[in-house]
């Protein structure tokens, strides 16, 4: 197995997904010294290569809207900055409500989003066909739409970052698993790797679905936990669908990729934990097919091309963990994104890098700080994953 080239790195990042690579990029640009990124699997083998490519700015908390808006700007620049076209297409996000309570929730989101200067609109049932044709709207009472939301093709973002960080001198070690975190005097001093240990002052936990396990291996109780979610893609069709569509009641989401496939899933967890791998299930194929063909009956004769699954890394309040873990100085959390890590990565990773460099960030530790769950009252959802 390939070993790291040095014995010591100021920073070791665990996870070569979008969050880990973006963090490495920001650190390297800031002159953060030799950086090592390790990943237990292959490039794009985790959620960064398994997500539906959605990028939205409609959130329940102002702080998240700001992270999302900054990330949208970063995705717009991505091609010029990193040399890869990620096919970021701002076709909008259309949320559908089927009850007055759901509509009320969307209205609250809309007012938060508008408060940040984004043009989120409320749609009546009869206005929806202007944005997408062929929906069976019985039961839909209305929705919201934000045209600057969109979708992208996740893989090239990984290639662009991978090549950029390597040209900045970052070492990326694939197929190397973090086995433990070495501490002395209550601080991080090193990390154990399946390819051999190295010493370091800072470990960034950007391991996505496996990050709660890494926290455990650092001797801490994790606040987050992984759940398995399934997703599918259909045969490619000529373009007919511009926005990402999300139905609040069951979390059905789907969009059409640049290649013409319909890609989507249901925001329901299919199994807890990472222990049983990433299989697909007959029940998901059934539930997803029912939900999709009920809302878009003209898709019913369309073939399913393939189904797969990946992990959401969930926290009790639906907000990510960003920053140094107060229980272990030198251990930085960059996880808990609950299935939204890709879309929030550019802005979140910049703040992770700031934290590692000891710079102040603009994040409210009460909302994003890894220490916030010491307050026993903090288990109620603040951002609900069910939004999409």
Partner 1 sequence: MASPPRSTVRFGSRRLPISPGRSLLEALWNGRLPILQRSIRYHRPRAPFCGVGQCTQCLVRVNGVPNVRACRYVPGDGDVVETENAWPSPNHDVLGALDLLLPGGIDTLRGFRRPAFLTPLYHQVVRRLSGYGRIADRPGGIEPPAARRIETEVAVLGTGIAGAAALSTLAEHGIASVGIDTSPIAAVRPGVAMLSGTTVAFLPPPRPEVDRPWRLIAVEGRRRGVDVRARSVIIATGGYDAGLWFAGSDRPGVVTAEGALAFTEPNRAPFFRRAVVFGGGERAAEILDRCGPQVDAVVAPGSVSPELTEKASALEVPLYPRTLLMAAIGRRRVRGVRLRSRADGAEFSLETDAVILAHRRLPHPQLYFQAGAEMEWRNAGGAYYPKLGRGTATSQPGLFGAGEGAGFVGTAAAEASGTAAAMQALGEEPPSLANLGRVDAIEPNEIEGYYRQLFAGRRPKGKWIVCPCEDVMLTEIEEAHERGYRGIEVIKRYTGVGSGLCQGRYCLPDTLLLLARLEQRRPTEVGYITQRPPVTPLPLSAFAGLPDESEPTGAAR
Stretch that binds partner 1, among 53-61, 65-73, 158-166, 177-185 (CB under 8 A): 158-166
CB of 31 to partner 1, least distance (A): 24
Helix (H, G, I), strand (E, B) or coil at 245: strand
Residue among 200, 155, 154 nearest 178 (CA): 200
Q: Tell me which residues in 61-80 interact with partner 1 (CB under 8 A).
A: 79-80
- Say how far apart CA 364 and CA 351 lie, in whole Å: 11
Stretch that binds partner 1, among 15-23, 140-148, 234-242, 379-387 (CB under 8 A): 234-242
- Say how far apart CA 351 and CA 361 lie, in whole Å: 6
239 binds partner 1 (CB under 8 A): yes
Strand partners, 203: 12, 331
- Say how far apart CA 202 and CA 10 lie, in whole Å: 6
3-state secondary structure 146-182: ECCCEECCHHHHHHHHHHHHHHCCCEEEECCCEEEEE
| Binding residue (CB under 8 A) for partner 1 from 196, 286, 326, 359 | 286
282 binds partner 1 (CB under 8 A): yes
| Binding residue (CB under 8 A) for partner 1 from 3, 108, 187, 259 | 259
- Say how far apart CA 299 and CA 100 lie, in whole Å: 28
Helix (H, G, I), strand (E, B) or coil at 75: helix
377 binds partner 1 (CB under 8 A): no
Give the β-pairing of 54-55 and 150-151: antiparallel
| Binding residue (CB under 8 A) for partner 1 from 168, 182, 237, 382 | 237
CB of 239 to partner 1, least distance (A): 5
CB of 351 to partner 1, least distance (A): 26
125 binds partner 1 (CB under 8 A): no
- Say how far apart CA 92 and CA 388 lie, in whole Å: 13
Residue 249 CB: number of other CB atoms within 10 A?
Answer: 14
374 binds partner 1 (CB under 8 A): no
49 binds partner 1 (CB under 8 A): yes
195 binds partner 1 (CB under 8 A): no
159 binds partner 1 (CB under 8 A): yes
Structure tokens at 35: 């950086």
Query: For residues 29 and 290, which CB has a smaller minimum distance to partner 1 in the complex?
Result: 290
- The answer to whether 123 and 138 have CB atoms below 8 angstroms apart is no
87 binds partner 1 (CB under 8 A): yes
CB of 87 to partner 1, least distance (A): 6
| Binding residue (CB under 8 A) for partner 1 from 31, 117, 186, 303 | 303
- Say how far apart CA 354 and CA 325 lie, in whole Å: 14
- The answer to whether 208 and 219 have CB atoms below 8 angstroms apart is no
Stretch that binds partner 1, among 119-127, 220-228, 294-302, 372-380 (CB under 8 A): 294-302
290 binds partner 1 (CB under 8 A): yes
Which residues in this chain contact partner 1 in the complex, by CB under 8 A? 42-45, 49, 79-80, 83-85, 87, 89-90, 134, 136, 155-156, 159, 163, 166, 174, 234-240, 258-260, 278-283, 285-286, 288-290, 292-294, 297-308
């Amino acid at each position: 197995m390939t070993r790291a080239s040095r014995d010591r790195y100021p920073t070791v990042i665990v996870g070569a997904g979008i969050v880990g690579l973006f963090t490495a990029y920001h650190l390297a640009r800031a002159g953060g010294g030799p950086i090592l990124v390790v990943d237990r699997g292959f490039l794009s083998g985790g959620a960064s290569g398994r997500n539906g490519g959605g990028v939205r700015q409609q959130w329940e908390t102002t702080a998240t809207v700001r992270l999302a808006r900054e990330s949208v700007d970063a995705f717009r620049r991505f091609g010029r900055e990193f040399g890869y076209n990620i096919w970021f297409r701002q076709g909008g996000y259309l949320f559908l409500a089927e009850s007055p309570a759901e509509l009320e929730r969307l209205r609250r989101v809309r007012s938060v989003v508008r408060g940040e200067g984004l043009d989120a609109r409320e749609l009546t049932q009869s206005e929806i066909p202007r944005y997408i044709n062929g929906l069976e709207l019985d039961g839909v009472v209305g929705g919201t739409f934000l045209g600057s939301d969109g979708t992208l093709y996740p893989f090239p973002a990984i290639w662009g970052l991978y090549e950029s960080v390597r040209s900045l001198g970052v070492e990326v070690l694939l197929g190397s698993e973090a086995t433990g975190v070495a501490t002395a005097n209550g601080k991080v001093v090193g990390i154990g790797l399946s390819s051999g240990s190295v010493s370091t002052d800072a470990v960034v936990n950007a391991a996505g679905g496996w990050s709660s396990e890494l926290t455990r291996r650092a001797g801490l109780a994790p606040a987050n936990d992984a759940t398995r979610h399934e997703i599918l893609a259909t045969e490619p069709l000529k373009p007919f669908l511009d926005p990402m569509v999300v139905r609040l009641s069951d979390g059905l989401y789907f969009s059409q990729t640049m290649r013409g496939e319909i890609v989507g899933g249901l925001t329901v967890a299919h199994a807890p934990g990472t222990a049983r791998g990433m299989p697909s299930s007959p029940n998901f194929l059934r539930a997803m097919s029912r939900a999709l063909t009920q809302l878009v009956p003209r898709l019913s004769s369309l073939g399913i091309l393939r189904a797969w699954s990946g992990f959401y890394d969930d926290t009790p309040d639906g907000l990510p963990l960003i920053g140094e873990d107060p229980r272990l100085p030198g251990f930085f959390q960059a996880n808990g994104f609950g299935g939204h890590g890709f879309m929030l990565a550019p802005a979140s990773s910049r703040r992770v890098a700031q934290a590692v460099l000891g710079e102040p960030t603009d994040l409210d530790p009460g909302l994003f700080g890894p220490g916030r769950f010491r307050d026993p009252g903090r288990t109620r959802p603040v951002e609900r994953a069910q939004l999409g």
